[in-house]
C-alpha cells in the first residue's frame, strides 16, 4: 500500500464545498476524481500538505483555511484598465466575468468587472474563492511510483 510522498502518482475521489454548503466539485451522491504527482505544486499547497503521508483507502475530511487556499481580499487587486485592452465589439457591464486573453500572462480565473467609468474598466483581480475556507472530503484510491512520463 503506497504512501503519499514526493514523486508518487495519486488518484483520489473528493468533494469540495464552501462553508455555505455549496458544492464546487462533486455532489453529495458523486465525488470528483483527481490525479496528480505529489511534490510538484499541482495542487494548492494547503491541500497537498494535508494529503502528504496518507495511504490508499484512507478517508479524511478537512478544511483548508482561506489563508492556505486563495488568501484574503486585497483592495490593491482592484484596478482600472483602459477599455482598449478589450475587443472593441465586446459588451462590458458591471458584474460580468471576463478572461482577457491578450495579456502577457492571462489570469487562470475570470476577472470581475466592478464598474465602467468612461474609457476605464474597473476590474477585480482577486480570485473568486478569496476569503473562503475550502471543505474537502477525500478518499485515496491509488498511490504508486510515478512513471517517467508522469514526472
Residue 113 belongs to a domain: yes
* Shared-domain flag, residues 13 and 66: yes
pTM given for the model: 0.86
* Shared-domain flag, residues 82 and 65: no
Q: With contact defined as beta carbons under 8 Å apart, do 140 and 33 qualify?
A: no
Average pLDDT, the chain: 94
* Shared-domain flag, residues 112 and 138: no
Give residue-wise pLDDT tens across range 65-80.
999 999 999 999 999 9
pLDDT of residue 79: 95
pLDDT of residue 87: 86
Query: Does 27 or 104 have the greater pLDDT score?
Result: 27
pLDDT at 103 over 70: no
* Shared-domain flag, residues 14 and 40: yes
Grid cell digits, residue 43: 495542487
Candidates 85, 111, 89; CA nearest to 98 is 111
- In the chain, the number of structural domains is 2
Residue 1 belongs to a domain: no
* Shared-domain flag, residues 99 and 141: no
State the Cα–Cα distance between residues 123 and 116, nearest whole angstrom: 9
Query: Does 105 or 91 have the greater pLDDT score?
Result: 91
CATH of the domain at 118: 2.40.10
What residue numbers bound the domain in which 112 lies?
75-124
Residue 116 belongs to a domain: yes
Query: What spatial distance separates the first Cα and last Cα of the chain, rounded to whole Å?
Result: 20
Residue 46 belongs to a domain: yes
Amino acid at each position: 500500500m503506497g504512501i503519499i510522498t514526493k514523486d508518487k502518482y495519486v488518484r483520489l475521489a473528493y468533494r469540495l464545498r464552501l462553508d455555505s454548503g455549496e458544492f464546487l466539485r462533486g455532489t453529495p451522491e458523486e465525488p470528483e476524481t483527481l490525479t496528480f504527482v505529489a511534490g510538484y505544486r499541482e495542487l494548492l499547497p494547503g491541500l497537498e500538505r494535508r494529503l502528504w503521508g496518507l495511504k490508499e483507502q484512507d478517508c479524511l475530511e478537512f478544511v483548508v483555511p482561506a489563508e492556505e487556499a486563495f488568501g484574503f481580499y486585497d483592495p490593491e487587486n482592484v484596478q482600472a484598465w483602459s477599455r482598449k485592452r478589450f475587443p472593441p465589439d465586446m459588451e462590458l457591464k458591471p458584474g460580468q466575468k471576463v478572461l482577457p486573453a491578450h495579456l502577457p500572462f492571462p489570469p487562470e480565473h475570470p476577472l470581475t468587472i466592478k464598474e465602467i467609468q468612461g474609457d476605464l474598466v474597473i476590474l477585480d483581480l482577486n480570485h473568486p474563492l478569496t476569503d473562503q475556507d475550502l471543505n474537502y472530503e477525500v478518499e485515496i484510491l491509488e498511490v504508486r511510483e510515478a512513471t517517467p512520463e508522469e514526472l
